[in-house]
């Protein structure tokens, strides 16, 4: 059972004026009829004004005691200008307006559509010639989804796999293209063209549109779906948004869970070098050296070089090495029985074992540089937590409109399953019902930490030219740990105590950190004479995906009745080992459109 407490604060600030002097009155036309909605404002400060009510009355508060020029304006009536002189705090002024005939040639109305609303996206869908679906910021607020991956899965036909990749109508991988504001971004995965969308927080997203059929104005290297994640734009007035979210899970929160050794910056979504290892210092073990390599390690290199021997590929050459080691007499070099006896004496720790140690001396020293942290650890799981903050406004810069939006989000969550179980049939024997089964009882955990930011700036040089810049950093780190016990028996459905045939253990530790730094610039231009609208967009994304020290330790005791000693065997696809993977992917995308 999961309980989520969300505390939401939304503050909107509006400016107002208070003053000491009040002018009141009534406004009528020449016939004595009251006029509703007549604008009354100061000539030198149009921000100080009011409008008449249903009875034609108005009341205007003025802060300054100095004489003020006042304007009374109404459509199809002559504008009245008068001077207010305050001899007392309350001044009564009535006005009679005369009609005037005006010819209006052009009316220009400027506005911005609210892309985060369902209504705007419904209208977009109705006017579109292609098949598309969407989910808006308005809807995401109602559902409480924390990232794009969970939000988009609510769209009909879209599903989110366990690995975080998206499928649309059953199509995934290379059939899906994902963009930010219509511009391509890196996949951060070496095996798929799909993108894990859990890196993008929903609190900084305006809407998500999914185009399902081809369109001439977008790239054609997709077939299943074209997903565009659009970031928030600046508001028309000052707005501050603060959101805090806490999640409690009775199976996980404040309980002891399986974990691994962590770096001091795991909480920020990346490893600070704690798991790093210099690959140039790594030396591979030579598990099966040749007889020539072994003899050279035992000091016979110069001897073979003098004979022009570079490799031992026949029994006679091997016997030369045995003779030099004193294990075979020169007179016995052609005696097969004596040579076999000498070879058997060579295959002992004194000779072959020593040669193996000498050949792999550098590999042994290299392995010692790896920390001994194969085992899983335990820790107390904290509350799931997320914090979002954003501030935006539209103001004046050098006398021109300037809009900005600054946003930030941090989140931390823990998933834990102490009772996970898997059953695998071992391919031995002919009767399926008699085949032994590999039953795995495991404890698994996944901790996710990440943060994202958004800087959106827009500037309008004049009504026909504007420019905007967007920067969006995204960082997320996921730590997966699995601690499993393995039981092998003929019945996978009874308890381990009754089912034990061979026991073993498997510990899996996989940490991945993904980063995306998205930079975008957009300009819009209108040429009135030719009535041409031109838009130019450019986007650059620096992406990295690091998986330092991916450890898989699969341990099974041997069933050899002679030695009765434990040994390591490969119990999974990777077997026992450590993997270091580093992926860098940068993408530059741009387009120019003219209408």
SS3 of 295-317: the string is HHHHHHHHHHHHCCCCCCCCHHH
Alpha-carbon Rg for the chain, nearest whole angstrom, is 38
pLDDT for position 267: 93
pLDDT for position 10: 36
Where do we find the tokens 């995906």?
Answer: 545
Beta-sheet pairing, 21-29 with 95-97: parallel
pLDDT for position 561: 44
Q: Is 127 helix (H, G, I), strand (E, B) or coil?
A: helix
Which residues are registered as beta bridge partners of 225? Answer: 176
Q: Please report, in tens digits, the pLDDT of each residue of the chain (595 residues total).
A: 344 443 333 333 333 334 478 888 999 998 888 899 999 999 888 888 999 988 889 998 888 778 889 999 998 899 999 988 888 888 888 999 999 876 667 777 766 666 666 666 676 666 676 777 778 877 877 777 778 888 887 777 777 766 667 778 777 777 788 888 888 888 887 777 777 777 888 888 888 888 878 777 777 777 778 888 888 888 878 889 898 889 998 889 999 999 999 999 999 999 998 988 887 888 888 888 988 999 999 999 999 888 888 887 677 788 889 999 999 998 898 888 999 999 999 999 999 999 999 999 998 888 888 888 888 999 999 999 999 999 999 998 998 999 999 999 999 999 999 988 777 665 555 554 454 556 778 899 999 999 999 999 999 998 899 999 999 999 999 999 999 887 765 554 555 555 455 567 788 999 999 999 999 999 999 998 888 999 999 999 999 999 998 998 887 655 544 444 444 443 334 467 888 889 999 999 999 989 8
pTM here is: 0.67
pLDDT for position 2: 43
From the list 81, 86, 76, 79, the residue with the least C-alpha distance to 24 is 86
SS3 content of the chain, % helix, strand, coil (to 5): 15, 45, 35
The CA distance from 136 to 144, in Å, is 12
The CA distance from 458 to 520, in Å, is 12
Where do we find the tokens 């991945």?
Answer: 512
- Enclosing H/E stretch for 152: helix 148-152
Distance of CA 164 to the CA centre of its chain: 10
pLDDT for position 45: 86
The CA distance from 208 to 231, in Å, is 9
560: its two tokens: 């050899």
The CA distance from 184 to 222, in Å, is 12
Are 460 and 399 in contact by the 8 Å Cβ rule? The answer is: no
Are 243 and 237 in contact by the 8 Å Cβ rule? The answer is: no
Kindly report the number of other CB atoms within 10 A of residue 220's CB atom.
10
Distance of CA 298 to the CA centre of its chain: 54
- Enclosing H/E stretch for 481: strand 465-489
> How far are the Cα atoms of 118, 127, 153, 159 from residue 133, in angstroms, in the given order?
11, 13, 12, 14
DSSP state of 98: P
């Amino acid at each position: 059972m999961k309980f989520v407490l969300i505390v939401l604060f939304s503050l909107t600030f509006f400016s107002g004026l208070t003053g000491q002097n009040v002018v009141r009155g009534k406004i009528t036309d020449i016939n004595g009829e009251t006029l509703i909605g007549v604008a009354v404002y100061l000539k030198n400060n149009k921000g100080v004004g009011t409008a008449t009510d249903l009875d034609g009355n108005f009341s205007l508060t003025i802060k300054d005691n100095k004489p003020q020029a006042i304007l009374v304006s109404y459509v199809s009536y002559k504008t009245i200008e008068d001077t207010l002189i305050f001899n007392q705090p309350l001044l009564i002024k009535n006005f009679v307006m005369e009609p005037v005939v005006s010819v209006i040639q052009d009316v220009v109305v400027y506005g911005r559509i609210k892309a985060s609303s369902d209504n705007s996206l419904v209208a977009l869908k109705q006017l579109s010639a292609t098949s598309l679906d969407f989910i808006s910021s308005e809807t995401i607020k109602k559902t409480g989804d924390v990232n794009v991956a969970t939000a988009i899965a609510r769209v009909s036909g879209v599903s989110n796999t366990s690995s975080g990749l998206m499928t649309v109508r059953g199509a995934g991988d290379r059939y899906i293209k994902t963009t930010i504001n219509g511009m391509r971004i890196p996949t951060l995965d070496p095996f798929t063209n799909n993108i894990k969308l859990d890196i993008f927080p929903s609190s900084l997203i305006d809407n998500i549109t999914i185009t399902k059929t081809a369109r001439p104005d977008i790239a054609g290297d997709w077939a299943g779906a074209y997903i565009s994640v659009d970031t928030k734009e600046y508001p028309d007035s000052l707005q501050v948004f603060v959101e805090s979210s806490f999640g409690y899970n009775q199976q996980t929160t404040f309980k002891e869970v399986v974990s691994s050794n962590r770096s001091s910056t795991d909480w920020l979504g990346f490893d600070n070098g704690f798991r790093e290892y210099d690959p140039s210092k790594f030396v591979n073990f030579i598990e099966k050296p040749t007889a020539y390599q072994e003899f050279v390690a035992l000091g016979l290199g110069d001897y073979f070089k003098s004979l022009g021997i570079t490799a031992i590929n026949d029994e006679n050459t091997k016997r030369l090495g045995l003779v030099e080691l004193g294990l075979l007499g020169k007179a016995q070099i052609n005696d097969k029985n004596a040579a076999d006896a000498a070879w058997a004496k060579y295959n002992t720790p004194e000779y072959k074992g020593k040669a193996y140690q000498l050949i792999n001396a550098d590999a042994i020293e290299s392995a010692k540089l790896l920390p001994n942290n194969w085992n899983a650890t335990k820790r107390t799981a904290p509350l799931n937590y997320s914090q979002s903050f954003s501030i935006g406004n539209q103001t004046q810069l050098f006398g021109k409109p300037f809009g900005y939006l600054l946003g930030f989000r941090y989140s931390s969550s823990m998933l834990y399953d102490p009772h996970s179980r898997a059953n695998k049939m071992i391919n031995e024997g002919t009767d399926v019902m008699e085949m032994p089964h590999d039953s795995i009882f495991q404890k698994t955990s996944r901790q996710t930490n990440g943060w994202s930011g958004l800087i959106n700036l827009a500037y309008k040089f004049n009504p026909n030219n504007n420019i905007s810049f967007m920067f969006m950093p995204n960082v997320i780190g996921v730590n997966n740990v699995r601690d499993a016990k393995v039981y092998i028996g003929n019945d996978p459905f009874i308890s381990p105590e009754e089912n034990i045939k061979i026991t073993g253990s498997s510990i899996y530790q996989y940490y991945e950190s993904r980063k995306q730094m998205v930079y975008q610039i957009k300009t819009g231009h209108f040429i009135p004479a030719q009535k041409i609208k031109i838009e130019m967009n450019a986007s650059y994304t620096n992406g990295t995906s690091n998986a330092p020290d991916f450890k898989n330790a699969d341990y099974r005791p041997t069933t050899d009745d002679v030695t009765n000693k434990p040994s390591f065997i490969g119990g999974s696809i990777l077997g026992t080992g450590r993997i270091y993977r580093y992926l860098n992917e940068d993408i530059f995308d741009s387009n120019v459109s003219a209408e």
